[in-house]
Structure 1
Amino acid sequence: MRALKFLALFFLIINPIAAQEQEASGEVYRLIKLCSYCTCSEIPDVDGTHLVLNIQCSELDRIENFADLDKIEWPENPNGLKIAAAFEGLGLTTLGKLPPNSQVETLRFSNNAIKTYWPDPFNDVPNLKRLSFTQNELAELTPDLFTKVHALEELDLSFNKIGDLNPLDFKHLHHVKRLNLQSNLLKKIPVEALQPLALLEDLDLSKNGIHDLLLRRTESTTLKGIKRLNLSGNRIRSIVKDSFPEENNIELLDLSNNIIEVVEEDSLLSCTSLRELNLAQNNITFTFALPPTLQIAILKINTLYHWPKFPSGITFVDLSYNRLSALYDEDNVEFENLEILNIGGNQIKDFDIQKKLPKLYSLDLSYNLLADVPKSLSSQTFPKLEELRLDGNPIESIYFKNIIALKNLYMNDLNKLTVVEDKAFSNVIGRAGDESLFEQSCFSLFLSNCGSLMSIQEGAFDATTLCMLDISKNNLTKLSRTLLDWKSLTEGANLQHNPWHCSCELQWMLDDLLPQMYRANSRLLSELRCGSPRAYEGLRLVHWYNWTEQAMCSDDLSMRSGPYGTYMMEESREGLSKVTSLTLILGGCIILALLVAIALVVYLVKTRRRHRVRQAALNRKRQSAADAKNSNGTQKEQFSALNKA
């Protein structure tokens, strides 16, 4: 009896263990081998210092039952490479617990629909350094999401629906240096939640709904260590003295595309390490003090009436599309290190600079109120200038008084310019590159979209050399062959969208310029068309390529339509005789058609008459037959009556 009880107890213990082993063995068969469905390859790391085993699983890979990430099987890694895995666009809604692997350093779950996750999903990947959940449906976080990932350095939670962060959500992330919370639903800066991130350097909170910037009121060592802070695309209205912590380490501050109206005078002076400031696309009207360490200032698309006082180390200034009407005070500003100056889109009428700008290589004066080319533009004042923009000004006459060396000159959209006069660009010379002493000294000119420009005089480019000429979208009808050395245009000439008068005066374009442009840059010929005479209107000049005769100088030419709305030219050899024979053929056809019509009418009339005669004869015959039948019946009745009598 005791033996039976012992056996029964033995089977009760062994049976569940066997069942578990069977289940485990079945589990092995259901494992998803990643490299059988996804792309696995060895590629250089982002830094290019070593190879990594890259696993790319995307929406193009049809993987069944992929919702459970604990069912995946990591590929064999005999070389011990670090692993970077991406599970993108797979429609995942729940993040499962990943199987163990100490080689995994990068995980990306972007472009899914993850809303929930298992507790501690990354416990078994302890060396994870980079993690991305961008473009998912996460609405909230819990402390059990980031447990045992102490080595994590970069975390991307952008483009989710996170509205608030708990102080304990990031409590295990002591080594994170970069945190991206762009495009979420945050209404304030989560200062308490960021407190555990002691090494945080890069924080992106752009495109949320943040409306207050009062970081000084909170004691946080984490905020003082941030070097790059992005708050663009929020609802911030003002910057005050309490906006930033004292003695912070912010080097790059982006507050663009907010609704900032007020910047207090000394509010930015606490940013003692600030190098780049972006306040573009706000409503700032009054100037403010800038930190002495500032090098890049982007203040475009505001309502500034006056110049801020820039520090001496400034290298980049963008004040475009404000309301400036005058230049800065040269006695109070030092621009010795300035390299780029953009003041386009303002209301400046006069540009008169006396002090030398030794390092400036890009100057933008476009879309102001300059009536003439500024006389202060010279190589003496701008010895390093390479790019000059004068687009969209009401300039009526072009003349550079002083010699200036450039690489690119932009003078588009000059709506009041009608004629480019003699010697207009004679004082503009090319600037050779520093990398080659033998490089050709030429410059590129962009004189396009000037609707009133009808003529360029022959000596406009005397004593200068062009690399590229763009005079497209003007109202030019003719061009001189000796205007410039066309063979020196190494980058081509854009003559498109002009109403060229295709006469013998422009024959040189077909002989010299067209073959050169066809070989160098044929795309500049697609809209090079004739505007007159009427016979050639809309004709592309490229159709005369390799034409043996002087096409524009010959009167004996005719056109016939070609495929795809083009025209083909063919030489006329018959002259007036061809026109005469065509007229005779057309007249003969008309006469023949009239004769056929008359014959058809006569035939129809005669046929109708015969039909009427035949129809009348048939009617008489039918009537006679009917009368004869009636008379025979009457006679038979009479004979029958006589016989009975």
Structure 2
Amino acid sequence: MKTVQSTLLLLLFMPLTQPAPSVQQDSHVIYEYGADNFEETIFSQDYEDKYQEGKNNKKKVPVIIPVENRFQLQRDEAVTPLPSKKENDEMPTCLLCVCLSGSVYCEEVDIDTVPPLPKESAYLYARFNKIKKLTAKDFADMPNLRRLDFTGNLIEEIEDGTFSKLSLLEELSLAENKLLKLPVLPPKLILLNAKNNKIKSRGIKANTFKKLNKLSFLYLDHNALESVPPNLPESLRIIHLQFNNITSVTDDTFCKSNDTRYIRDRIEEIRLEGNPIILGKHPNSFICLKRLPIGSYF
């Protein structure tokens, strides 16, 4: 009888002595509670051998829900220090444009004014934008500028003092704009390109070119000039005046009527085609030249 009772008691207690089933726990997922918004959970996954044999082998990494204050501390520590005032003043232009070894390239970025330039800038290429006006303030304290290119803008006006203080400026391109006149030009200019504008003869002052003793290349073609600009310097090698409204030239336009021995030996090319002028009617206008101008003679 005792044996039966013992057996029954053993059967009754066996379910109680069985080990509890193990709780499945993913050791790769760690939760740190304390964040107010569950949506702020950061998920981080690292993928290795992503396209090996056409399969993605994903390696699981911890999914962490950070405490709000701890996450804020980490973000603050990662913030990049603010640049100095000098760097900050120059940075916008060099982010919009490309600054490289003293050259600033601002081509086709739709700017409508000249951007602030790094003071060491020697070359500015601001072609094919929407600039309408140039002022003296645009190049204040820019002593190193040697080349400016504003081809293909909408420039209608240039203040007289805009370039006059740029003592090192050698090349200036204002081609394909809407200019009606030329401003005062810097003294060391070697090349001026103002073709494809709306410049008339009254838009060029009598002394505009007189003191430019280094000017070698002058491009004023495709404008509205009625005459050849006066007082062209001896230094000129190339003069492009084609496709204007020039109707006549005088003995003093290129030569000196009072000096028959005068030879203008530096000029290599004068283009006058596309003008309503018959060059053959003005033979004495070219006697000092080594080469006759290009244009119609009959």
Match of 2:199 in 1: 186
**What percent identity do the matched residue pairs reach?**
26
Q: Relative CO higher for 1 or 2, CA cutoff 8 Å, sep ≥ 6?
A: 2
Distance apart, 1:147 and its partner CA: 5.1
- Residue of 80, 87, 91 corresponding to 2:106: 87
Distance apart, 1:182 and its partner CA: 0.5
**Unpaired stretches in structure 1, ≥5 consecutive residues:** 1-21, 39-54, 56-73, 76-81, 286-645
- Residue of 278, 300, 304 corresponding to 2:294: 278
Match of 1:543 in 2: none
Contact 2:255–2:287 (CA<8 Å) still a contact in 1? Answer: no
- Residue of 266, 269, 272 corresponding to 1:252: 269
- Residue of 234, 245, 248 corresponding to 1:238: 248
Deviations 1:261-309 (A, max 9, x none): 25323221022xx346321xx4x32xxxxxxxxxxxxxxxxxxxxxxxx
Match of 2:142 in 1: 125
User: Which one has a bigger Cα radius of gyration?
Assistant: 1
Cα RMSD, aligned residues only: 3.1
SS in 1 for 2:142: coil
User: What is the one-letter code of the residue matched to 2:220?
Assistant: L
Distance apart, 1:251 and its partner CA: 2.1
Deviations 1:477-521 (A, max 9, x none): xxxxxxxxxxxxxxxxxxxxxxxxxxxxxxxxxxxxxxxxxxxxx
Distance apart, 1:26 and its partner CA: 11
Q: 1:147 & 1:214 partners in 2: Cα distance?
A: 19
Contact 2:135–2:158 (CA<8 Å) still a contact in 1? Answer: no
Deviations 1:419-462 (A, max 9, x none): xxxxxxxxxxxxxxxxxxxxxxxxxxxxxxxxxxxxxxxxxxxx
Distance apart, 1:209 and its partner CA: 0.8
The 3 A distance-change label for structure 1 pair 275 and 105 is farther
User: What is the one-letter code of the residue matched to 2:160?
Assistant: P
Distance apart, 1:133 and its partner CA: 1.0
Contact 1:233–1:257 (CA<8 Å) still a contact in 2? Answer: yes
Contact 1:176–1:199 (CA<8 Å) still a contact in 2? Answer: yes
Deviations 1:370-389 (A, max 9, x none): xxxxxxxxxxxxxxxxxxxx
SS in 1 for 2:234: helix
Distance apart, 1:118 and its partner CA: 5.2
Contact 1:134–1:158 (CA<8 Å) still a contact in 2? Answer: yes
Structure 2 length-normalised TM = 0.60
Q: 2:250 & 2:125 partners in 1: Cα distance?
A: 39
Match of 2:220 in 1: 205
SS in 1 for 2:172: strand
The 3 A distance-change label for structure 1 pair 276 and 267 is closer
The 3 A distance-change label for structure 1 pair 252 and 97 is same
Distance apart, 1:187 and its partner CA: 1.4
Q: Which runs of 4+ in 1 moved over 4 A?
A: 24-27
Contact 2:90–2:116 (CA<8 Å) still a contact in 1? Answer: no
Distance apart, 1:199 and its partner CA: 1.2
Distance apart, 1:184 and its partner CA: 1.2
What count of residue pairs does the alignment treat as equivalent? 207
Determine which structure has the larger strand proportion and give its number: 1
Deviations 1:596-615 (A, max 9, x none): xxxxxxxxxxxxxxxxxxxx
Structure 1 length-normalised TM = 0.29
SS in 2 for 1:197: coil
User: What is the one-letter code of the residue matched to 2:91?
Assistant: L
User: What is the one-letter code of the residue matched to 1:182?
Assistant: K
Q: 1:33 & 1:267 partners in 2: Cα distance?
A: 50
The 3 A distance-change label for structure 1 pair 261 and 84 is same
**Unpaired stretches in structure 2, ≥5 consecutive residues:** 1-81, 257-261
Distance apart, 1:210 and its partner CA: 1.0
Distance apart, 1:245 and its partner CA: 3.4
Match of 1:529 in 2: none
Distance apart, 1:207 and its partner CA: 0.5
Pairing 1:505-516 to 2, within 5 Å after superposition = none
Determine which structure has the larger helix proportion and give its number: 1
Contact 1:98–1:124 (CA<8 Å) still a contact in 2? Answer: no
